[in-house]
Structure 1
């Protein structure tokens, strides 16, 4: 079944393009246009009172959608920010020790990798990195205050197994467990109900949630970090009209909010979620569609000189090899958008693709091998 009708604006914007980088920058559904327009209309009509609607309706709707997707018991545990980096910094600022000992995998995304290396360089943290498959065993040594790992690694497509074992280690006084779910949220069916009281979970709307930038979120377990040092005035939004004195914090996930931000991403997120619901497109249903496209691509064995390193559960294929950068450039020359990380070519699948698109991609790859690489 084709779902191209849900992406008519994005597809019409570049008719000859084959976009196979949904894991990186997901094309926006038509519903996101409506959500964006709704944000503008509220700003125009409500003016100063726009934030009453944002906090009274837009944020609660987004919280409810996310809580349902992740099986979280309380939507109020969710806070929003323009990006996950801001939320990461806020988490670390809330840790109850001066120089936390941090354990992470060696394949974390740039926002964590760069920041954690700089913190380590400055002596702000003590950093240990290990391969993803060693994170759980290393964490169980009891030598760490913060354990950070991706649910799905962005570069290799490896999946973190054993999150429940990490959660069993977590305590409000430390260690804390933070799961970066950016390549897991709405890509893998995820049930956090049994561990929601012990783990932080980070993600956003840029990728599989199809909402674009500015709609990142944090699930913060109750009792973990009640007073982040890096804080903004929205963390006590309910008390803005009250007499000022001291630094108050909301008792729920709002304690991790920052300051003024562009809420249009949340409007887009909500609009897209409504459309997915009306179409019956759950994460499992979307994954099934993408799995069929992946299987069609792999059945042709189009990249025999590269090694497939991603796991079958994830939404993209990661091929490793010296030829990867060359193929990336040659595909780009032929109007095919993929993604490159060092010597890993990533090909991502989405609702806006059909079997015909996969066949077209295979044909363009065949042309590359018959001409440019012959």
Structure 2
């Protein structure tokens, strides 16, 4: 079945393009434009009072969508920020330790990897990285203050095994366990109901949530990191009209909020979620559609000089080999959008593709 009608504007904007990078910059569905216009109209109509609607309606709606997707028992544990890096900085700032010991996998995304390496360079943290398949065992060995790992790794698509074991080592006094869910959220179903009281989970709308940039979120377990040192005035939003004395924090996920932000991403996110509900599309449905397209491409094996290193849960195929940069360049010349990480070519699948698109990609790869 084809769902291209939901993406008519993005597809019409570049009719000759074959976009196989849904794992990178997912094409925006038409509904996201409706959300963007709604944000503009609210700003024009309500001006200063738009924030009343953002905090009383827009944010609670977005929290509800995320809580249902992840099986979170309380939507109020969710905070929003323009990017996940903001949350990383705030989480570390809340650790009451001068030089915390941090354990991470050696395949984390740049937003963590670069910052963690710089902190290690300056002596701010003691950083240890291990392959993902060794991380859970290392975590259970003890001695850590913060453990950071991706649910699905961005470079290979390999999924984390042992999330429940990681959650079992988490304590309010440390270690804190942070799961980077950016390549897992709405790419594969996950239920955090039994783990929500022990782990942090962060992700955003740029990829599989189809909402674009500027709408990232953090689930913060109750009792963990109650007072981030890096903090913005929205973290005590309820008390703005009260007499100021000391630094107060909201008791729920809002303690991780920053300051004034662009709320349009939240409007886009909500509009896309409403679209999915109207169409009756779940993450499992979309994953099944993408898996069929992946299987069609893999069965044809049109890039035999590259070796697949992909995880089954990923919405993309990771193909490794010395020919990857040259193949990526030639695909780009043919207006086929993929992406390249060193010697790994990544080909991603999304709801806006159908079998004809895959067949066209196969034909181009064979040339």
Distance 1:96 1:142 in 2: 18
Q: Is contact 2:3–2:351 with CA below 8 Å preserved after alignment? A: yes
Residue in structure 2 matched with residue 218 of structure 1 by the alignment: 218
Distance 1:117 1:267 in 2: 35
Deviations 1:154-178 (A, max 9, x none): 0011110101000000000000000
Residue in structure 1 matched with residue 199 of structure 2 by the alignment: 199
Q: Is contact 2:158–2:313 with CA below 8 Å preserved after alignment? A: no
Residue in structure 1 matched with residue 252 of structure 2 by the alignment: 252
Residue in structure 1 matched with residue 147 of structure 2 by the alignment: 147
Residue in structure 1 matched with residue 51 of structure 2 by the alignment: 51
Residue in structure 2 matched with residue 237 of structure 1 by the alignment: 237
Distance 1:80 1:101 in 2: 26
Query: Matched residue of 2:190: which SS?
Result: coil
Residue 332 (structure 1) aligned with residue 332 (structure 2): yes
Distance 1:51 1:237 in 2: 11
Residue in structure 1 matched with residue 366 of structure 2 by the alignment: 366
Query: Matched residue of 1:46: which SS?
Result: helix
Deviations 1:181-222 (A, max 9, x none): 000000010100000000000100000000000000000000
Residue in structure 1 matched with residue 164 of structure 2 by the alignment: 164
Deviations 1:237-274 (A, max 9, x none): 11111111111100000000000000000000000000
Deviations 1:27-69 (A, max 9, x none): 0000000000000000000001010000000000000000000
Q: Is contact 1:96–1:173 with CA below 8 Å preserved after alignment? A: no
Residue in structure 1 matched with residue 316 of structure 2 by the alignment: 316
Deviations 1:129-176 (A, max 9, x none): 000000000111102100000000000111101010000000000000
Deviations 1:267-287 (A, max 9, x none): 000000000011011000000
Residue in structure 2 matched with residue 371 of structure 1 by the alignment: none
Distance 1:311 1:246 in 2: 49
Normalising by structure 1, what TM-score?
A: 0.98
Deviations 1:277-332 (A, max 9, x none): 11011000000000100010011011111110011221110001101111110000
Query: Matched residue of 1:129: which SS?
Result: strand
Q: Is contact 2:303–2:366 with CA below 8 Å preserved after alignment? A: no
Distance 1:126 1:277 in 2: 45
Residue in structure 1 matched with residue 92 of structure 2 by the alignment: 92
Residue in structure 2 matched with residue 372 of structure 1 by the alignment: none
Query: Matched residue of 1:293: which SS?
Result: helix
Matches within 5 A, 1:237-316: 237-316=237-316
Query: Matched residue of 1:104: which SS?
Result: strand
Residue in structure 1 matched with residue 20 of structure 2 by the alignment: 20
Q: Is contact 2:77–2:219 with CA below 8 Å preserved after alignment? A: yes
Residue in structure 1 matched with residue 188 of structure 2 by the alignment: 188
Query: Matched residue of 2:169: which SS?
Result: coil
Distance 1:200 1:94 in 2: 13
Q: Is contact 2:319–2:346 with CA below 8 Å preserved after alignment? A: yes
Normalising by structure 2, what TM-score?
A: 1.00
Shift of residue 96, structure 1, vs aligned partner: 2.0
Distance 1:161 1:58 in 2: 34
Query: Matched residue of 1:168: which SS?
Result: helix
Distance 2:337 2:304 in 1: 20
Residue 35 (structure 1) aligned with residue 35 (structure 2): yes
Residue in structure 2 matched with residue 370 of structure 1 by the alignment: none
Query: Matched residue of 2:217: which SS?
Result: strand
Residue in structure 2 matched with residue 119 of structure 1 by the alignment: 119
Give RMSD over aligned pairs: 0.5
Distance 1:97 1:197 in 2: 22
Query: Matched residue of 2:124: which SS?
Result: coil
Shift of residue 94, structure 1, vs aligned partner: 0.6
Q: Across the two proteins, how many residue pairs are aligned to each other?
A: 367
